Amino acid sequence: MTLAILTGGTGGAKLVEGLSHEAAPEELAIICNTGDDVVLHGLHISPDLDTIAYTLAGIVDKEKGWGVAGDTFSALELLGKYGEENWFKLGDRDLARHIARTRMLREGATLAEATARLSAALGISSQLLPMSNDRVETRVKTPEGEISFQEYFVKRRWAVDVSGVVYKDAEKSRPAPGVMDWIHGAAAVIVCPSNPVTSIGPILSVPGIRKALKGTRKPVIAVSPIIAGAPVAGPTDKLMAAVGVEPSVFGVAKNYADFLDILVLAPEDRNWRTRIEAVGVQTVEQPIRMNDLEDKRRLARELLALL
Ligand code: FO1
């Protein structure tokens, strides 16, 4: 069964991993957020594409949820000694990917082309697609001014007030080749339990994508990134509140209501079901917390069974 999967980094990667075990990997197109991309040390870094690639290749650092397992940080240590910024923890093995991608981009490849070549090199048979070849940058508004997502998330450890989030240059961007075809042509679309504001929001900000999700007759299913009022990880609730979305499973449903058919939510959130169904979204109750591979595979099986 062909699936178009919308995802960010670490949260979404858990479900992507489960789906890659339970469905034929070549039938999966994973459409990834690139709003978190950052240029550091002259290198183009695409954290969410990389997290998904390392996950699919079986080399992700499982403890952190990003980066390469067993990586070392010798280059970064020396960069620090030379007075370069080292708050973003780029491992030695991870650096190879950024160096290769940056060279490809400099020589004229698009981000989608570079991603495809890097996927092939790691033996990934799913389609891994950036949301766009164009630069769309997630910027976080704080009392000290607007900062990039990585400055907010990693450098400031999300300990700064947020008054809004913008997707810079989204209006000028176009979906990457293949994105619209997969959304229109897949048997279903799955929205991963990623941050609705900074992981899924940027994908939806690319003109045409939200409309395609609304337009598809195939089921669109999301898994809630919030359980019992708390985000599964990170500052999801803070960022939702900052953009005026209720930081609850209901807020997630309402935010996606124009295109979403089914929201899969945790049993702890069953009291929200009536309110969510009133905005036109069906609900399904499932244990959605994914602590180990068996949890990921079980949730993937449940989603496939729903379809
Ligand atoms: N997350 C951190 O919390 N600290 C880091 O230093 C860090 C470095 C990093 C390097 C490469 C990469 O692909 C991801 C990295 N991440 C780091 C994760 C990343 O900031 C987030 O997971 C995503 O951008 C949010 O989806």
pLDDT digits (tens, 9 = 90+) for 127-150: 999 999 999 999 999 998 999 999
Instruction: Report which protein residue has its CA nearest ligand 1's atom 14.
Output: 47
Q: Using one digit for the tens of pLDDT, what is the confidence trace for 30-57?
A: 999 999 999 999 999 999 999 999 999 9
Q: Which atom of ligand 1 is nearest to the CA of 51?
A: 13
Give 154 Cα–ligand 1 centroid separation in angstroms. 7
* Structure tokens belonging to residue 229: 């009022």
Q: Which of 55, 85, 89, 155 to mutate to test the pocket of ligand 1 (most atoms within 8 A of CB)?
A: 89
Residues with CB under 6 A from ligand 1: 8-10, 36, 47-48, 50-51, 66-67, 88-90, 94, 150, 153-154, 199
Give 160 Cα–ligand 1 centroid separation in angstroms. 18
Can you say whether residue 42 is alpha, beta or left, with left for phi > 0 and alpha for psi between -120 and 50 degrees? left
Pair 243, 164: CB distance under 8 Å: yes
Question: What would the mean pLDDT of 212-233 be, rounded to a whole number?
Answer: 94
Residue 196 has pLDDT above 90, yes or no: yes
Domains and CATH numbers, the chain: 3-133+178-306 (3.40.50.10680), 137-170 (no CATH)
pLDDT value of position 229 = 84
Residue 233 has pLDDT above 90, yes or no: no
234 — pLDDT class (breaks 50, 70, 90)? confident
Q: Which atom of ligand 1 is nearest to the CA of 36?
A: 24
Give 64 Cα–ligand 1 centroid separation in angstroms. 9
Give 285 Cα–ligand 1 centroid separation in angstroms. 31
CA dist 84 → 71, 77, 81, 108 (Å): 20, 10, 7, 27
Q: Which atom of ligand 1 is nearest to the CA of 54?
A: 13
* Structure tokens belonging to residue 254: 């309402």
The pTM assigned to this predicted structure is: 0.97
Phi first, then psi: give them for residue 174, nearest 5 degrees.
-125, 150
Residue 232 has pLDDT above 90, yes or no: no
pLDDT value of position 230 = 87
